[in-house]
């Protein structure tokens, strides 16, 4: 019987994530390393090198071509639509989804000096930072987590912002000066969770992966992804959503903003956990009614 072939990006974080899944499945699998477009092109901002799926398309192609059997992705890299022939088989238990501040001394966004330089490769973070602190100077920052930290250490920047979950998985939580609350900075859709993707007709593997699925995380991410899909968001639009279960209900926050933070729409809804997808769609409609489409279209015109 052929061993399970697991596709992964080559970064240290991706390898840690993939190996954790393999270990949870009993440790018997072949790891297949695949370079994606997002990994190859590191000298330009993500929004300038393509749309959704920059870190997963080549891995999904390997799935469809049957060169691998299972793909392990960071959920935040997943577009809202899954290609025909593939299926999202499981959502792992989510780690802390909050963004983290890595700084030279400041313990919060408010304590950064006036006009401070802060670096991030995310339009979502850029928009929320500038909405809160229009005086900040934002530098673009690309690369894997260790590369970003090295660039920060060699720079004169006051701070950078990274996903806390990635730092924790790499054993680098000591670099975290503080976390942003989800009210201060709404996370990326799916941030902190892993997506396990298979071919849609591989029923045996999908059944095997059910033991790794975390229902609460799945419901929260389902709502977030429905919100993302309705608004047609991606790395080219500053957008985020975060769902969590509170007192038996699903609470979903969402935002859409201008890159410079000058326009910023934020809403939230609550609803039954069983209606996660409907909740995400309803919140997206709220955002559209509040003018989110104008913000999205303005961004699209800038990129043309």
Active site residues: 77
Strand order in the sheet with 29-33: 29-33, 4-8, 70-74, 194-199, 86-91
Are the C-beta atoms of 243 and 276 separated by less than 8 Å? yes
- Determine the length of the chain: 304
Which residues have a Cβ under 8 Å from the Cβ of 41 and sit 6 or more positions away?
49
What is the DSSP code string of 67-101? S-SEEEEEGGG--SSPPTTEEEEEEPPP----EEE
DSSP 134: T
DSSP 303: H
Tell me whether strands 4-8 and 70-74 are parallel, antiparallel or unpaired. Answer: parallel
Q: How far is CA 41 from CA 119, 162, 211, in A?
A: 18, 19, 36
């Amino acid at each position: 019987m052929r061993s399970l072939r697991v596709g992964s990006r080559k970064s240290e974080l991706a390898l840690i994530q993939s190996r954790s899944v393999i270990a949870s499945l009993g440790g018997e699998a072949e790891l297949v390393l695949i370079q994606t477009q997002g990994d190859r092109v590191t000298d330009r901002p993500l929004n300038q090198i393509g749309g959704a799926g920059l870190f997963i398309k080549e891995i999904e192609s390997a799935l469809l071509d049957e060169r691998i059997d299972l793909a392990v992705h960071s959920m935040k890299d997943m577009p809202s639509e899954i290609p025909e022939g593939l299926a999202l088989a499981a959502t792992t238990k989510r780690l802390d989804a909050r963004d983290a501040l890595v700084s030279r001394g400041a313990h919060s966004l408010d304590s950064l000096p006036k006009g401070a330089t802060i670096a991030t490769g995310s339009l979502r973070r850029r928009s929320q930072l500038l909405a809160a602190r229009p005086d900040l100077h934002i530098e673009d920052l690309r690369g894997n987590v260790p590369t970003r930290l090295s660039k920060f250490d060699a720079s004169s920047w006051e701070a950078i912002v990274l996903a806390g979950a990635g730092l924790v998985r790499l054993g680098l939580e000591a670099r975290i000066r503080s976390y942003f609350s989800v009210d201060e900075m709404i996370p990326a859709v799916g941030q902190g969770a892993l997506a396990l993707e298979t071919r849609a007709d591989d029923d045996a593997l999908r059944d095997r992966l059910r033991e790794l699925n975390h229902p609460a995380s799945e419901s929260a991410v389902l709502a977030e992804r429905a919100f993302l899909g309705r608004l047609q968001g991606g790395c080219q639009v500053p957008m985020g959503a975060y769902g969590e279960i509170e007192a038996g209900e699903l609470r979903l926050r969402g935002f859409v903003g201008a890159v410079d933070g000058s326009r910023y729409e934020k809403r939230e809804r609550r609803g039954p956990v069983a209606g996660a997808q409907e909740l995400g769609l309803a919140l997206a409609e709220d955002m559209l009614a509040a003018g989110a489409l104008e913000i999205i279209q303005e961004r699209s015109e800038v990129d043309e």
